[in-house]
Amino acid sequence: MTKEELMRKAIELSKESVANGGGPFGAVIATKEGEIVAAGTNRVTSSCDPTAHAEVSTIREAAAKLGTFNLSGHVIYTSCEPCPMCLGAIYWARLDRMYYGNNKTDAKNIGFDDSFIYDELELNPTERQLPSEVLLHDEAIKAFEAWTAKEDKVEY
């Protein structure tokens, strides 16, 4: 499939999601040659999972199908510019490229405004709307020390 056909599939999924009571988002992960590996929609409300955005759901499906957390060699087509969570997931999945249809301003205009998250990331954790503080650092660091010392770890 061409990149335009793959994007149209993501857009079609976003429309189907709306028709089925979900959010207006769809995504497709394909090989560089245009073969679809996984496809998904926003399932936040249907699955009662705030992380079940189209991109995250599609990444989960592709990783499970391929048996790897490293999706390099693959491309994601998403109906909208990803939110901060999804963009992070896309980077962590090591996807080679991303195409999107709508942008974050389009999303903001229909009530999906992620700008407050970007603003929060710029703040010192003690100044964020979500109260947070370091607790038991001396105990928590032990897992990081064990990871550092582990010789047979699978890095990601």
For residue 55, indicate whether it is catalytic: yes
Catalytic-labelled residue, pool 33, 55, 61, 151: 55
Residues 36 and 74: beta-carbon distance below 8 Å: no
Alpha helices in the chain (DSSP H): 3-19, 44-47, 54-66, 84-93, 104-109, 115-121, 137-149
Give me the residues paired with residue 30 across strands: 36, 75
Distance CA 13, CA 58 (A): 12
Give the number of other CB atoms < 10 A from CB of residue 148: 8
Catalytic residues: 55
